[in-house]
């Protein structure tokens, strides 16, 4: 069983007083939400990313950046065990969520995905009505409240309510690509996971919707931990507290490229004073 975060979150974890020293240990742990310890992910025999060590802080936004094909999506999908669905995809190392190894045999991947939601790189609404697109996930997670309120609230948070409110009973595919993506964001918000993983959620959006989504992300991080993949440096700067820069290199004697984590730090530091030259090159746009 996964520890129940919602109980823990009720404790005022950030307002420490010196008298709360006993709790200190627990709080230290709580500051890290998801942590990767020496994670290597392979598709078949081909390694995609190698030896990742990374701690995603609780209640903050972490951005994953890096050139195409360096394994950002792969890392992201490892966090909610989405890679389990791909034949031949294997993972070594540990992915800890609140200190629990998500890849232990007794962990149920379905439970993991209910706690760690995901917005995919390509919009993938269900071929159902817009309303049902959101209600389905909520129902699967055992939501008992007023479904109409939830649908409206989620669509508003995802900045797509105006476009949807008159056609809730039409197919999710009657929306434009960008609207579909926001519908998918709404769907993920609606199930209220502890962590939200977003794989380039704004890549198909116009600047105005993008800004709206970014506002939503700011709003959401009060409630959730967010990990976001983005190719947009400005976006990483605007929304994230921490940034992880990935790169890929060709290993000697191997055919494909293997991704690895170059640098992980506060976003400001990554953009203003990176320690690695490749990071510097990438964030300043001097990258092939």
Partner 1 sequence: MRGIPVSESETGSFSQRKRSSSEKLLDKSFKAVAISLAATVAFVLFGIFLVVFSGSLESIGRYGTEFLFTSEWNPVTDKYGAFTAIYGTLVTSLLSLLIAVPLGIGTAIFITEDIIPEKARYLIGLMVELLAAIPSVVLGLWAIFIMEPFLRPFFVFLNNNYSWLPFFNTEPLGPGMAPAIIILVIMILPIITSIARDSLNQVPIKLREAAYGVGATRWTAIFNVILPAAISGIAGGVLLALGRAMGETMAVTMIIGNSNNFSWSFFSPGNTIAAMLANQFGEADGSQVSSLMFAALILMTLTLLVNIFAQWMVKKLSLKY
Distance, CA of 65 to CA of 63 (rounded, Å): 6
Q: How far is the CB of 183 from partner 1 (least distance, A)?
A: 11
257-266/242-250 β-pairing: antiparallel
* Contacts for 42-48: CB closer than 8 Å, 24+ residues apart: 42/89, 42/90, 42/91, 43/86, 43/88, 43/89, 44/88, 46/255, 46/256, 47/254, 47/258, 48/74, 48/258, 48/259
Distance, CA of 104 to CA of 94 (rounded, Å): 9
43 lines the binding site for ligand ATP (CB under 6 A): yes
Report the DSSP beta bridge partners of residue 34.
56, 97
Residues in contact with partner 1, shown as a per-residue x/- string from 141 to 160 under the rule CB under 8 A = x-------------------
Distance, CA of 14 to CA of 17 (rounded, Å): 9
Apex 38 CA angle, 37 and 40, nearest 5: 125
Between 136 and 161, whose beta carbon lies closer to partner 1? 136
74 lines the binding site for ligand ATP (CB under 6 A): yes
80 lines the binding site for partner 1 (CB under 8 A): yes
40 lines the binding site for ligand ATP (CB under 6 A): no
Q: Calculate Rg over the CA atoms of the chain.
A: 19
Residue 11 main-chain phi, psi, to 5 deg: -65, 135
Site for partner 1, residues 180 to 199, rule: CB under 8 A: 184, 187-188, 191
Between 73 and 216, whose beta carbon lies closer to Mg ion? 73
216 lines the binding site for ligand ATP (CB under 6 A): no
Distance, CA of 279 to CA of 165 (rounded, Å): 43
| Helices within 35-160 (DSSP H only) | 72-79, 109-115, 130-140, 147-157
Q: How far is the CB of 199 from Mg ion (least distance, A)?
A: 6
Q: How far is the CB of 162 from Mg ion (least distance, A)?
A: 29
Between 164 and 197, whose beta carbon lies closer to Mg ion? 197
Between 201 and 274, whose beta carbon lies closer to partner 1? 201
Site for Mg ion, residues 57 to 96, rule: CB under 5 A: 73
Footprint of Mg ion on this chain (CB under 5 A)?
Answer: 73
Footprint of ligand ATP on this chain (CB under 6 A)?
Answer: 43, 48, 68-74, 86, 121, 256-257, 259
Footprint of partner 1 on this chain (CB under 8 A)?
Answer: 80, 82, 85, 87, 110-111, 113-114, 117-118, 120, 122, 124-127, 136-137, 140-141, 171, 173, 184, 187-188, 191
């Amino acid at each position: 069983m996964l520890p129940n975060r919602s109980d823990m979150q009720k404790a005022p974890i950030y307002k420490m007083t010196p008298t709360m020293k006993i709790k200190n240990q627990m709080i230290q742990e709580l500051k890290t939400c998801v942590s990767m310890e020496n994670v290597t992910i392979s598709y078949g025999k081909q390694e995609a990313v190698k030896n990742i060590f990374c701690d995603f802080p609780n209640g903050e936004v972490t951005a994953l950046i890096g050139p195409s094909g360096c394994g950002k999506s792969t890392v992201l999908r490892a966090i909610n065990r989405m890679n389990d669905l791909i034949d031949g995809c294997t993972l070594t190392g540990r992915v800890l969520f609140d200190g629990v190894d998500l890849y232990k045999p007794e962990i149920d991947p379905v439970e993991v995905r209910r706690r760690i939601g995901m917005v995919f790189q390509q919009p993938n609404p269900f071929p159902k009505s817009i309303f049902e697109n959101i209600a389905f996930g909520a129902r699967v997670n055992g939501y008992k409240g007023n479904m109409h309120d939830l649908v409206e609230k989620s669509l508003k948070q995802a900045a797509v309510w105006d476009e949807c409110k008159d056609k809730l009973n039409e197919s999710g595919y009657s929306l434009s690509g960008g609207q579909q993506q926001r519908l998918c964001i709404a769907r993920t918000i609606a199930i209220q996971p502890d962590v939200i993983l977003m794989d380039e959620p704004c890549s198909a959006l116009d600047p105005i919707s993008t800004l709206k989504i970014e506002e939503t992300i700011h709003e959401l991080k009060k409630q959730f931990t967010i990990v976001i993949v983005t190719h947009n440096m400005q976006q990483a700067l605007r929304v994230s507290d921490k940034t992880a820069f990935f790169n890929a290199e060709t290993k000697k004697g191997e055919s494909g490229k293997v991704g690895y984590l170059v640098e992980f730090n506060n976003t400001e530091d990554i953009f203003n004073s990176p320690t690695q030259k490749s990071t510097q090159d990438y964030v300043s746009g001097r990258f092939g």
